[in-house]
Amino acid sequence: MGILTQLEIENFKSYKGKQIIGPFKRFTAIIGPNGSGKSNLMDAICFVLGEKTANLRVRSVKNLIHGSPIHKPVSNKAQVTAVYAEEDGTEMRFTRCIVGSGTEYRINNKGVPYSQYQEKLESLGISIKARNFLVFQGTVESIALKTPKERTQLFEQISRSGELQDDYLQTKSDMQSSEEDTTFHMHKKKGISAERRAARAEKEEADKYLNVKDDLSTSQIRYQLFKLLYNEKKIENLSISLQKKEKEVTKMESRCNNIEQQLKSKKQESAKLARETAVLDKKIQEKDADLIILRPQYIKEKEKSLHLKRRIDSLNKKLDKHKAAHLKHQDDIKSLKNELNNVVHLEDEYEKQLKEDEDVRSIRLRESQVHEYTKLKEQVAKTTTKFKQELNKIDREQDDDQKKLQSNKQRREDLLAQEKQLADQKNEVEQRIETLSKYISANSEELNKLQHHFDTISEDLRQANGKQSELNRELEEVTSKLSEANADNQESHRNQKRRELIERLKEMFPGVFGRLVDLCEPIHSRYSVAVTKILAKHMDSIIVNTEKTARDCIEYFKEQHIEPATFLPLDGIRPKAINEVLRSVGGTAKMILDVIQYDPPELKKALEFSAGNALVCDTMEEARKLAFDGSSRKKVVGLDGSLFNKSGVISGGASDLKQRAKRWDDKVVDNFKRSRDRCRNELKEISKIKRKEPELQNLKSKIDGLTNRLKYSKNDRETNENVTLEEKKRELKLVRDALQQTKNSITKLEKAVSNRKDNIDSLRTRINQIEDQVFSEFCHSIGVENIRHYESKMLNKQQSQSKRRLEIQSQKSKLQQQLEYELKRDTIAIVTKTENVLNSDKMELKQSKLDEDKQQEKIDRMEEMVNELREKKSRLKDVVEDKEIEVKELKKNFNQKSKEIASERNNMSSLENRKEQLLNDRNGILMTCKLDNIKIPLIGTSVEELQLEPGHERELLDSEEAMEIDEDVDQGDLRFKLPEVQIDYSSLPKKYRNAEDASDYKDLNDELSSNVKRLQNLLATISAPNMKAGERLDHVNLRLAETSQQFEAARKRARKAKADFEGVRKRRYDLFMDAFEHVADHIDNIYKDIADNASAQAFLGPENAEEPYLDGINYNCVAPGKRFRPMDNLSGGEKTVAALALLFAIHSFQPSPFFVLDEIDASLDITNINTVAKYICNETKRNCQCIVISLKEEFYHYADSLVGIYSEDGECTMSKVLTLDLNKYVESKP
């Protein structure tokens, strides 16, 4: 395969003059700055290869000449020559010149037409239409963003299958038009065939019609005679049964009257006994009321006795304690007196001993020595008079302070003892206060509980009394209303069972609402008759939510053998649409739905089904006008029950209509009964609550007792807290203050004594010096160191004596103070006071016991009387119960007889109704025969001569037994009163005159009825005979032959058009699939080579496998190392690589010798640039030549040669070219 070796450009766009660009290698990169003319070089290649001018970014060919954009073209012509070299070295020159406003084509400098020029290029593999040799700037990105439909167009362009699109559409349109024409003639042929069959059937039906009509007339006469015969037999049997029933009822009524007389007598006796019982009840209630008053008084006295008893026990304990304290006090006084006597005796003995010791000591000195001692002493006294006076003064002061100090210390001891005693007393008072507080707290809590219980019961009783009054008033009102409504009559057993059945159904099946009559009611009693007339048979219908619930209920009825009932499932009924216009017709007219109130809301659908668009008016005249005078008839009912149907039939109230209307009143009565039963039940519950009154009195007594005990305890605690404890605290404070003062005095005295002692020592030292001078010789003579040594012995003795004397006096003083304090304490007064209080409480307890016994005696007498009354009442109650049993038995018999009579009356009424019904049936049969022209044989007359009796027309409207006829009721069901006629049964076969029982009658009736219905149905299927059916059949046969010829011609045209279309479709499909399958087979490997990774995947898939060119082509890639993602979610580089893979795959389908790519690396990163460049290198070595415009060094340094484009500025930018062969620098290339 050859290559493009060079380009020769002359005055083309930015290339001024003639410039030779090349040579081009297998891989040539065109580089240069932006705006230098690289893209113009791309345009030159496209231009020379035949690209249209519009794709070269200019409006006309002249704009391609250099300088034209600035309106200064350098020449009137320009040209581009591409030099193509074959593998064997042969060169071919392709030239395209701009001449005037057109272009010329040359091959090897020889002018050729464009078609020859194009064929030559295509012979080399260069397709101008497919553009398989170049990729414009931005094409890569646009390919990556193409939709599936755009990819299909790309493949159509490459495969050239798109050239067949017009032929494809034209042949397809021709085929569809031919098929439609064929279909039209085919349907036309079928229609004429059906018309022929219909004409043939008309002819056959005309033949059958007369035969069937004759058979039907005979069967109808036989059937009506059969019904009339057995109708007369049934009427005769019913008349005989009625006579027998009348006789039986007369006998039963006589027996019932006798039982009623007995019942009245027994009721009077029972009422008398009931009054006596009521009197006894009243007396018992009065005695119970007295007991209710006495019991609390007794409980109060008993509580008082218990309180006094506990108080006496407490006082006895206190008295014992006070007596023990008094005895201890007496012992303490006696002990103190003994101790004081012993101390006094000890003092006397000690003074006596001191006197004896003084006498013994004075005789130890000689008399001369004593005299000398005295003389010297006087001398010393004279010498130390001043000092001794001062010393004596200080000694006196010292002695006084020492005495005060000793007295204060003694007082301190006394105060400490008194403080301890007062603290003990204070603790005792506080302990008693704490005990009282605990007692008060416990009793307060108990009192609160009792009070709460008392309040609860009181509130219950208060509410019960209020509720009882309300219920009594309500019960009186309900009883009065029941009496007015005469509602005390026993509900019929059948209605009661029906109510129980409905309640049972509601429990078993949640979807059951109840009977319609129980779920709704008129908004006013004036509408009762009208509503009853409209609802009619649906009043007793049972409303359920779904058909399934209805079937379950019916199954239950069958299992329990319950009489049948009608069910209205809300999801199954289809009511007529409500005409809202009827709500505003004027006058007194209202929609029947608007005068009915109902609950729950779901019931509305059932009422719409039952009542429809019926109206109600106040008067019969207004109802008649509203029903018939308007543009359209309406169904209207008057307040008296007169119903005007759309069909024109007017019916009055049936005999039992007003009776049935009373069922709405029965609902009110039922509500009254339920209210009465509810009031009675609530009164019974209230009576249980009122039995708590004695308990309330008992609680009140307990509360009063606890309140009194709490009052005494609180007073005691308050006295101890506010009087005794405060008094002890004051005394203790005074003692502690005195103790503190004493301590301060002791400290002050001790400090004064200590300070004074230093002065005494100084004076004594001075005196001693004087004495030593005076007594020096005397001391020497008696053998002592100094006179003080002698005197010390004597002085120590005196000090010891003084100390001993002081101790005895101190002990004596202390005992005297203690004895004085104990004598002041009057413990006997506390004992006396406690004994007085105890004696008073004992007297009060004795009196309380007497009062308690009196109350108990009264209660015992009262209870004895109540028990006697109760026994009497019990005996009387037994008698009453016996009477009630007799009354009940008689009442039961009476009710049973009444029920039997009512049952017989109902049976008679049923027989009469049946007889009347049979008579009406007979008249109805005769009238049917008259209306339907059934000529049954009559004696003395004929069916045509039958006439209504005079006045019967009015009876038709006013009869109480007239049937209700609505729009959907057949006129043949009307019942008329006709004159008596005699019927001739001789024409009725003997087989039909001698039915032995009901089963035979039913079989014969079914046989005759089915035969009539069969013939009627057969006759109904046969339309009136068409006498021209033969002529019509011939005409249809001619038309059918003509249409068959047209149909065959259309079929031939359709087959030819389809064959033409299939040929074009196959050629288009083959061209498209050749290109698509080639690209689809190669794209995965190409994508792996470009991505340089075996894990990369690329695949194409058509959306329409049958005709892929009609729909899109999906293109998806899995980038290396990533999961599958849609093309729109790939990065820019990944999209570019995918687009390049698609481009190279497409290029491989019809490869051109060279491939020109304009800036395909714009969106690639370095890694992708390297992989793409390596792939292009490999491709250029194997398959084709690549000329790439690039701005990235990472890409173009892989090229074999570089073509550098640069620009020179001027009036018009001029592009210049440099060429560099990189093969010379193979070693330096990566």
**If pLDDT is split at 50, 70 and 90, which confidence band does 867 have?**
confident
Residue-level pLDDT at 9: 92
Residue-level pLDDT at 658: 66
Residue-level pLDDT at 412: 84
pLDDT in tens, 588-626: 888 888 889 888 888 888 888 888 889 999 888 888 888
Strands 567-569 and 542-544: parallel
Higher pLDDT, 687 or 321: 321
pLDDT in tens, 56-69: 778 888 888 888 88
Query: What is the mean pLDDT of the segment spanning 1016-1032?
Result: 71
**If pLDDT is split at 50, 70 and 90, which confidence band does 953 have?**
very low
Residue 916 contacts residue 960 (beta carbons within 8 Å): no
Q: H/E element holding 1067?
A: helix 1029-1091
| 787-to-34, 782, 796 alpha-carbon distances in Å | 147, 9, 14
Does 715 score more than 50 pLDDT? Answer: yes
Residue 1204 contacts residue 1216 (beta carbons within 8 Å): no
Query: What is the mean pLDDT of the segment spanning 168-195?
Result: 85
- Per the listing, tokens 């009060």 go with 844
Calculate what percentage of the chain has a pLDDT beyond 70.
Answer: 89
Q: H/E element holding 7?
A: strand 3-12
Calculate what percentage of the chain has a pLDDT beyond 90.
Answer: 2
**If pLDDT is split at 50, 70 and 90, which confidence band does 952 have?**
very low
C-alpha dihedral, 1006 to 1009 to 1012 to 1018, nearest 10°:
-70
Lowest mean pLDDT among 650-659, 851-860, 904-913: 650-659
Does 97 score more than 90 pLDDT? Answer: yes
What is 933-996 written as a DSSP string?
T----EESS-GGG--PPTTHHHHHHH-TTPPP--TTS-GGG--------EE--TTS-GGGT---
pLDDT in tens, 972-991: 333 444 446 778 777 788 77
Does 482 score more than 80 pLDDT? Answer: no
Query: What is the mean pLDDT of the segment spanning 984-1007?
Result: 77
Which two tokens mark 503? 């309640």
**Which residues, including other chains, have CB under 8 Å from residue 1155's CB and lie 6 or more apart?**
133, 134, 135, 1147, 1184, 1185, 1186, 1187
Residue 822 contacts residue 333 (beta carbons within 8 Å): yes
Quick one: CA dihedral 256, 260, 266, 270, positive or negative?
positive
Q: H/E element holding 235?
A: helix 165-362
**If pLDDT is split at 50, 70 and 90, which confidence band does 144 have?**
low
Which two tokens mark 803? 């100390």
Residue-level pLDDT at 971: 35
Residue 931 contacts residue 973 (beta carbons within 8 Å): no
d(CA 923, CA 927): 6
Which two tokens mark 316? 């006895």
**If pLDDT is split at 50, 70 and 90, which confidence band does 668 have?**
low
pLDDT in tens, 1035-1059: 878 888 888 888 888 888 888 888 8
Lowest mean pLDDT among 487-491, 845-849, 1215-1219: 487-491
Higher pLDDT, 964 or 916: 916
Higher pLDDT, 542 or 1144: 542
Query: What is the mean pLDDT of the segment spanning 818-823?
Result: 77
Residue-level pLDDT at 1135: 80
Residue-level pLDDT at 947: 59
Does 1113 score more than 80 pLDDT? Answer: yes
Query: What is the mean pLDDT of the segment spanning 141-158?
Result: 79
Residue 530 contacts residue 590 (beta carbons within 8 Å): no
DSSP state, residue 568? E
Residue-level pLDDT at 1199: 86
Residue-level pLDDT at 313: 83
Q: Mean pLDDT over all residues of the chain?
A: 79
Does 943 score more than 50 pLDDT? Answer: yes
d(CA 858, CA 856): 5
Does 967 score more than 50 pLDDT? Answer: no
Residue-level pLDDT at 1024: 65
What is 630-649 written as a DSSP string?
SSS---EEETTS-EE-TTS-
What is 1157-1213 written as a DSSP string?
EESTTTT--HHHHHHHHHHHHHHHHHT-EEEEE---HHHHTTSSEEEEEEEE-SSS-
Output b/e per residue, 1028-1065; b: 16+ Cβ within 10 A.
ebeebbeebeeebeebeeebeebeebbeebbeebeebb
Instruction: Give φ, ψ of 23 to 5 degrees.
Output: -75, 150
Residue-level pLDDT at 569: 92
Does 80 score more than 90 pLDDT? Answer: yes
Does 669 score more than 70 pLDDT? Answer: no
Residue-level pLDDT at 483: 57
Does 434 score more than 60 pLDDT? Answer: yes
Q: Is the preceding omega at residue 1025 within 30 degrees of 0, hence cis?
A: no
**If pLDDT is split at 50, 70 and 90, which confidence band does 811 have?**
confident
Lowest mean pLDDT among 25-34, 654-663, 736-745, 1115-1124: 654-663
Query: What is the mean pLDDT of the segment spanning 1107-1113?
Result: 87
Which two tokens mark 1155? 């491939």
pLDDT in tens, 339-353: 888 888 887 887 777
